[in-house]
Amino acid sequence: MHDIPAALGDSVRQQTLTAMYSEHHGWLHGWLRKKLGCSQQAADLAHDAFIRVLLLAEPQNIKEPRAFLATTAGRLLIDGARRRRIEKAYMQALVIQCEDAGMPDPAAIHVALQALERIAELLAGLPAKAREAFLLSRLDGLTYSDIATRLEVSPSTVKNYIASALVHCYHSLHAADPLV
């Protein structure tokens, strides 16, 4: 008997959320686009504002949806600006610390991380053992025998794994280039 009121409450909540989204999302996106000058950022922020509404226990109690959404989006803008200021200050402190320690600057670290992400994308289509063998060889500098022991396969299988990884990477890099 307690399930029926809970189901009704869920239904009312869902109807409220659906109605609020369909009636106010376009307006909120447009309002944010004017403020930000960027449709993608506005879409992201509108999405985040509606996520906040979804997290409310009783969204049906919102009396003025547009005011609520504008306030929520405004707070998200402030939070984002605050976060960017903190990130900027952190990066500046990191630059100083890296310079003092003789480490590469954050921009170089960022470029290296992007390269690693690209490598991860290239290797994503490989079977797990071939990917692992390739990484153990190239990043850890292990010999085929060491890799074979670790993966519990023969050194010739490791050689085949690495060869297939190299071919896979080559095809991934040059698939869009018809001249190669």
Give residue-wise pLDDT tens across range 26-39: 999 999 999 999 99
Give residue-wise pLDDT tens across range 100-151: 666 677 787 888 888 878 877 788 788 889 989 988 998 889 999 999 999 9
Q: Are the C-beta atoms of 32 and 45 separated by less than 8 Å?
A: yes
* CA R_g for the chain: 26
- The distance of Cα 68 from the centroid of its chain, to the nearest Å, equals 28
Given a cut of 60, whether residue 9 has pLDDT beyond it is: yes
Q: Residue 63 has what pLDDT?
A: 92
DSSP 96-154: HHHHHHTPPPHHHHHHHHHHHHHHHHHHTTS-HHHHHHHHHHHTT---HHHHHHHHTS-
HSE on the CB side for 42, CA within 13 Å? 16
> Can you list the pairs that 172-178 forms with residues at least 24 positions away whose Cβ atoms lie under 8 Å?
172/122, 172/125, 173/122
Q: Residue 20 has what pLDDT?
A: 92
Given a cut of 70, whether residue 66 has pLDDT beyond it is: yes
- Range with the poorest average pLDDT among 62-66, 71-75, 107-111, 148-152: 107-111
Q: Residue 1 has what pLDDT?
A: 44
Q: Are the C-beta atoms of 141 and 135 separated by less than 8 Å?
A: no
Q: Residue 150 has what pLDDT?
A: 93
Which value, to the nearest 10 degrees, does the dihedral of the CA atoms of residues 117, 121, 127, 128 take?
20
What residue ranges do the domains of the chain occupy? 5-100, 106-175
- Range with the poorest average pLDDT among 57-61, 62-66, 130-134: 57-61
What CATH architecture applies to the domain 106-175?
Answer: Orthogonal Bundle (1.10)
Instruction: Return the sign of the alpha-carbon dihedral for residues 79, 84, 87, 88.
Output: negative
Given a cut of 70, whether residue 5 has pLDDT beyond it is: no
pTM for this prediction: 0.48
